[in-house]
Amino acid sequence: MIPAMESRSSDPTIGDIGPVPAVRAIVECGDKSVSCAGVIDTGADLSILDEMLFERLAIQTPLATIRLRTAGLSDLPMAVYTATIRLRGESEDELVFSDVPVIKSRLERPVLLLGRRGLLEWLRVEIDFPTGMVSLVRAYDLARQYPALTLNLPGFAAVAGLIEKESPVSREAVMIVLQTAMALEGFLDRVIVGVKSWLNHPHGP
């Protein structure tokens, strides 16, 4: 089964910003942790933790410092830290992400903005606004085991997700994999012939 979770998108701890796509989040660093609302922010590259929550984690050493351009076009240095983030929904099932890059900011409310790197990039996010439900599905677990295939074969992640979703594996998924394997086999035969030719004549004819 693909790890997944669902949550009502309106969280009472968010306060004056109203209903937003959010889940319960736990941010951990060493032996310290803080609980907060994890607000899904598809426009954020990095996750952002409220400064007051960050201070409770007592993180000392940043991973790196980046230059961050704000809406006012200011170019500011910003320290990047890493933390483990646990996301929880209606049930006690959780999605866990390690070494997530996080920056701190004065958000004035106990929230973590969930950004792309190390977190949303590994999730399929589904938001049902009429029912106020947000669903998070870890869609690329299988693909993460094969980074070269994911990078070089655009359709690999979709096929991997299809295989991961079906239990038992569907006939459609099996046929896609077999067709891809046969095509790769034919292509590799051509590559091997080319390599042998190059080895026989490495400096041209």
Phi, psi of 187 (to 5 degrees): -65, -40
Give the burial string for 38-48 (b: 16+ CB within 10 Å, else e).
bbbbeebebbb
Per-residue pLDDT, 72: 52
Per-residue pLDDT, 191: 82
Neighbours of 164 (CB within 10 A): 20
Q: What does the pLDDT look like over 29-62, one tens digit per residue? A: 989 999 998 999 888 888 999 999 999 998 777 7
Per-residue pLDDT, 83: 92
- Any idea which architecture 4-138 has in CATH? Beta Barrel (2.40)
In which residue ranges of the chain is pLDDT below 50? Answer: 1-3, 9-13, 73
Percent of the chain with pLDDT over 70: 66
Taking Cα atoms as reference points, which of 97, 103, 89, 93 lies closest to residue 44? Answer: 103
Orientation angle between helical segments 156-165 and 171-200, nearest 10 degrees = 140
Per-residue pLDDT, 193: 81
Q: What does the pLDDT look like over 10-33, one tens digit per residue? A: 444 455 556 778 889 999 998 999
Q: How many angstroms separate the CA atoms of 135 and 132, rounded?
A: 10
Per-residue pLDDT, 153: 66
